[in-house]
């Protein structure tokens, strides 16, 4: 991340107030807990929180927002300027919107919203339009309260050559055309693109629809502890898992994601790399204590990682022991048991010759997308057809045993055909996964049409760059093939 990069944030600010205390009794006249207040902390919320997070990353931040001329607005402007944020304010014809959370320990008991309701009373100052032109990247942080609707701002955002990241709101305007990245969360996608299905299917379908509707270069749907799904110009959606599951206060995690993505784009990162950086940053933010790290004293310790992504979930379902034939019988049993309890079946495939860290990363990420993982393994003859007569290095029985020994793999099936279509047609997985190094360009994954027949989803997962079996073979041969 380039320290000092110029970030302009356009959006709605709120005054956040956390009242934390202890509950030891119920109210005598109602079945409600009584909170004994111990501490109260005020901070800018909405686009203001995004600005604080950006300053914490060392960015040069200008915030274009609307502020009311009341004690709350004065307080918020002071907090922002004290953090080093340059504020270019439009007048707000109403009171400062406030979001108050009553909390006991790590649990929110009640949220109280008050104020707001006023329209943005004037256009942006000329300095705001000049700041947009001079930015390295622009982040629109829409909280549905009117700032991104201002015609002069929308016109400037639509015409800028600066990359724009747009964090939308269901009650706000659609992003302008050609934004580099839009970052709705799951609930926003469900509201904007109604339809059924599990969370991965809804995210994939919704991201594709919003990308088309908004004419955006890319749409990343944030999925809390399941990371993010990116729909862009590629062969399939890219699912980026969180580094580790954490317990913590998720307030502001979406802002952290959007800020980190914008910062990475300002550095020149491709959008897929920006989303990977953003998932890591949002996860670290929650693990470190979330909004409690932003003023109001030191954060309290927040949990520990529950499990690494890709670790087995729920009761063991793995096929154990050496393969019988091609392993289909054992794999079918695993799939039947998981499907009977309503679980999600994930499958992936490949040669997996000289298993390396890139393979393991892909397998762990795939396992994190469901309740069991079946690996479709190319036979020796299949590998030779794909890679040449000097491959595989390891015979299929050895490759099978190594894969089956991994904790993230529940079953392995060997196939001899040029494609895994026959295996997939029998197992009918809910998700088909390929590593992000898939070399198909923008062409759709060849298995995507097949898995859609039973409402399945084909996705990519990130890979570790620089890992290659071919490179390992070449290095072992002193730089020579054969």
**Residues tagged active-site:** 255
Alpha-carbon torsion angle 281, 47, 269, 277, nearest 10 = 10
Q: What CA–CA distance (Å, rounded) separates 306 from 317?
A: 20
- The one-character DSSP state at 300 is P
Q: What CA–CA distance (Å, rounded) separates 235 from 335?
A: 26
Q: What CA–CA distance (Å, rounded) separates 131 from 152?
A: 13
Q: What CA–CA distance (Å, rounded) separates 348 from 360?
A: 12
Residue with tokens 């996860």: 283
Q: Are strands 107-120 and 86-104 parallel, antiparallel or unpaired?
A: antiparallel
**335-350 burial, b for 16+ CB within 10 Å, e for fewer?**
bebbbeeebbbbbbbb
- Return the structure tokens found at 54: 């950006």
CB 219 within 8 A of CB 256: no
Q: CA neighbours within 13 Å on the CB side: how many for 195?
A: 15
- Closest alpha carbon to 337 in 256, 427, 415: 427
N- to C-terminal Cα separation, the chain: 42
Instruction: Reduce the DSSP state of residue 356 to 3 states and report it.
Output: coil
Give 142-169 as a DSSP string.
Answer: --SSSGGG-HHHHHHHHH--S-EEEE--
- Closest alpha carbon to 63 in 158, 146, 135: 135
């Amino acid at each position: 991340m380039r320290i000092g990069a110029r970030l302009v944030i356009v959006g709605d600010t709120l005054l956040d107030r956390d009242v934390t205390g202890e509950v030891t009794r119920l109210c005598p006249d109602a079945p409600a807990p009584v909170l004994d207040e111990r501490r109260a902390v005020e901070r800018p919320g909405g686009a203001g929180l995004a600005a604080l997070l950006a300053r914490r990353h060392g960015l040069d931040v200008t915030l274009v927002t609307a502020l009311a001329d009341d004690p709350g607005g004065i307080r918020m402007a002071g907090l922002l300027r004290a953090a080093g944020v340059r504020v270019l304010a439009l007048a707000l014809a109403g009171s400062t919107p406030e979001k108050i959370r009553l909390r006991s320990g790590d649990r929110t008991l009640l949220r109280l919203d008050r104020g707001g309701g006023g329209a943005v009373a004037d256009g942006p100052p000329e300095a705001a339009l000049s700041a947009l032109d001079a930015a390295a990247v622009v982040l629109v942080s829409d909280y549905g309260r009117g700032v991104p609707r201002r015609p002069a701002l929308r016109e400037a955002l639509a015409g800028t050559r600066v990359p724009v990241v747009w964090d939308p709101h269901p009650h706000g305007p659609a992003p302008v055309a050609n934004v580099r990245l839009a970052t709705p969360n799951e609930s926003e996608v469900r509201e904007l693109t109604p339809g059924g299905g599990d969370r991965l299917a809804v995210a994939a379908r919704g991201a594709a629809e919003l990308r088309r509707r908004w004419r955006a270069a890319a749409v990343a749907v944030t999925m809390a502890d399941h990371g993010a799904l990116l729909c862009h110009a590629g062969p399939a959606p890219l699912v980026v898992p969180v580094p580790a599951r954490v317990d913590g206060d998720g307030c502001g995690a979406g802002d952290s994601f959007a800020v980190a993505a914008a910062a990475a784009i300002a550095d020149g990162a491709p959008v897929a790399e920006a989303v990977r950086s953003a998932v890591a940053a949002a996860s670290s933010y929650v693990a470190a204590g979330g909004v409690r790290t932003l003023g109001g004293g030191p954060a309290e310790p927040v949990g520990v990682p529950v499990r690494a992504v890709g670790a087995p979930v729920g009761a063991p379902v793995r096929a154990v022991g050496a393969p019988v034939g091609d392993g289909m019988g054992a794999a079918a049993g695993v799939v039947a048991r998981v499907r009977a309890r309503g679980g999600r079946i994930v499958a992936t495939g490949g040669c997996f010759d000289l298993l390396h860290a890139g393979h393991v990363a892909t397998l762990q990420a795939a396992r994190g997308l469901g309740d069991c993982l079946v690996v479709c393994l190319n036979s020796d003859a299949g590998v030779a057809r794909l890679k040449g007569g000097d491959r595989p290095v390891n015979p299929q029985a050895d490759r099978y045993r190594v894969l089956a020994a991994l904790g993230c793999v529940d079953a392995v099936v060997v196939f001899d055909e040029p494609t895994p279509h026959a295996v997939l047609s029998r197992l009918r997985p809910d998700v088909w996964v390929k590593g992000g190094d898939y070399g198909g360009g923008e062409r759709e994954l060849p298995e995507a049409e097949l898995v859609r027949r039973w409402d399945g989803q084909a996705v990519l997962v990130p890979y570790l760059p620089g890992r290659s079996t071919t490179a390992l073979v070449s290095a072992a041969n002193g730089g020579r093939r054969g």
